[in-house]
Amino acid sequence: MADANRIPSDSGDYVRIFDTTLRDGEQSPGATMNVEEKVAVARQLERLNVDIIEAGFAASSPGDFESVQRVCQAVTKPVVLSLSRTREQDVDQSLKSVDKAARPGIHIFIATSEIHLKYKLNMTREDVLDAATWAVARASKHVDHIEFSAEDASRSDWEYMAKVCAEVIRAGAKIINLPDTTGHAIPEEYGAMFAYMREHVPGADKVIWSAHCHNDLGLAVANSLAAIRNGARQIECTINGIGERAGNTSMEEVVMALRTRRDLLGVESRVNTRQIYPASRLLAQVIGQPVPPNKPIVGDNAFAHEAGIHQDGVLKYKLTYEIMKPEEVGIPSNKLVLGKHSGRHAFINRLAELGVDAAAIDLEKAFAEFKALCDKKKVVYDDDILALVSEEFRRLGDQLELVDLEVSSSSKETPQARVTMRVNGAERTEASSGDGIVDATYKAILKIAGINPVLERYSVKAITGGTDALGEVSCMLREDGITVAGHGAHSDIIMASALALVNALNRLRARGRTPQVRASDGP
């Protein structure tokens, strides 16, 4: 078994980890993150020691542009890059967004498959070849780290794609990515495509070949490993495998597969695997999407042995049923952490272990909330602490803020709610009745927001066990064709529900759907 403390060799032959949680991962329904949340995740990616962070798609919105810039300021070790189409405006915006990065880069893509050329781009093969070469040549005047992606590579004609790759290499691309954009490939054919390209593309030995897989058939990790076996030395992936549709290659799975089966694969990444579990929990809290218990590596059951025969075997000798050690991926042996006697120092240490930078949050407030929670709950778990802190990131920069909530309900009376919110600094109060307390609360909040979106989903979950547990509420709103998710955590489930709705309304605003609130509107 691999030694948990061993740092993989620094020889040139290692697998670069390109993390796209903040770009492709964010394309996962309901996984939008605000700037502060992206910065918090980026800092954890740096602790993980990923090689490259794809921080966003700068030209797609002012919010994405700002996020890329902020990530560039927040980290120094990894290369930070922005995705870019082959258009002049995209390339220039991307380059501008990373110009303050310690290690800037750009990721230029255009589709090469017939189906995309004909139905999406309405371009000929020559047009695509010219656009790709032009964009890479333009970027190469300003930055060295240039990745080119042949979108829908796995459904492209290999001979044509080889020509495009050769030209972009000549124009200055240093990394060539061959994505399985639709998650359609199976390992043998995906691996064979890398072998073909490495053999037929002039200059192939001068670049790093990269795999980018989607999980529509559940084969993203297997396909990525097949690419590695055929010479790829970069894998594009996301924490918890989040991403467009069924998601991207899961970072924790592919990193641990490389590590656990180095005997067969011969190469490894340079990820600090002990930061995997904190990264997984941090992201789950930030986007409000819990990790399924059976998720490999980071799920609650990933190292749990239920069957008697297995338990017996593990007690006698762990390796009978365990191929990795939980501590190797940073799973704390004792998840019961701090209590009411814990001091600030212990709290800050615990935050660091959980991947949270104390300097990036309002520490006084977080510590006060932690102490208040200790008074309410007998035991405080890691996930409780993460929920408190994520609540903090979530609210930074908000236009709408929940100030007060009063509710009343009995079996004989209609539930009532009275809500006070701060809107751009000014307070407004509204009251409403409803079918239940949550309904009454939501109606009062929406009166203040002045919009009537469709509530597509509402779910409640206890973060840790017990009736005193922190409750986490997630909701999904749709307005004018835009869907956003909101999350809230609180020991009072009605407060958590209100926080989730306010969070979603703030996200709608960030996406350009401004609630019709006017701070001057009186009650």
Residues across the chain: 523
The verdict on 179 binding ligand KIV (CB under 6 A) reads yes
Q: Which is nearer to ligand KIV, 24 or 36 (CB)?
A: 24
The verdict on 151 binding ligand KIV (CB under 6 A) reads yes
CB 172 within 8 A of CB 140: yes
Instruction: Count residues near ligand KIV (CB under 6 A).
Output: 10
Rounded distance, CA 366 to CA 359, Å? 11
Q: What's the DSSP call for residue 248? A: B
Query: Which residue(s) pair with 269 in the sheet?
Result: 15
The verdict on 109 binding ligand KIV (CB under 6 A) reads yes
CB 399 within 8 A of CB 425: no
Among 19, 24, 46, 383, binds ligand KIV (CB under 6 A): 24
Part of the chain binding ligand KIV (CB under 6 A), chosen from 174-182, 314-322, 383-391, 418-426: 174-182
* Binding at 32: pick from Zn ion, ligand KIV, none (beta carbon under 5-8 Å per type): none
Rounded distance, CA 164 to CA 158, Å? 10
Among 103, 138, 212, 490, binds ligand KIV (CB under 6 A): 212
Part of the chain binding ligand KIV (CB under 6 A), chosen from 173-181, 251-259, 279-287, 426-434: 173-181
CB 295 within 8 A of CB 400: no
Instruction: Count residues near Zn ion (CB under 5 A).
Output: 1
In whole angstroms, the minimum distance from the beta carbon of 57 to ligand KIV comes to 9
Q: Which is nearer to Zn ion, 24 or 167 (CB)?
A: 24
Among 82, 93, 97, 149, binds ligand KIV (CB under 6 A): 149
Rounded distance, CA 64 to CA 35, Å? 8
Q: Which is nearer to Zn ion, 149 or 289 (CB)?
A: 149
Q: Which residue has the tokens 């609540």?
A: 391
Pairing of strands 471-479, 482-490: antiparallel
Give every CB contact of residue 145 below 8 A, 6+ residues apart in sequence: 79, 81, 103, 104, 105, 106, 174, 175
Task: Tell me the per-residue interface mask from 298 to 327 with Zn ion, x by CB under 5 A, - otherwise.
Answer: ------------------------------
Rounded distance, CA 69 to CA 59, Å? 12
Distance of CA 258 to the CA centre of its chain: 21
Half-sphere exposure of 399 (CA within 13 A, CB side): 18
Q: What residues from 12 to 51 belong to the interface with Zn ion (CB under 5 A)?
A: 24
Rounded distance, CA 497 to CA 473, Å? 5
Part of the chain binding ligand KIV (CB under 6 A), chosen from 138-146, 176-184, 251-259, 434-442: 176-184
Part of the chain binding ligand KIV (CB under 6 A), chosen from 175-183, 291-299, 424-432, 457-465: 175-183
Contact set with ligand KIV (CB under 6 A):
24, 83, 109, 149, 151, 177, 179, 181, 212, 214
Contact set with Zn ion (CB under 5 A):
24
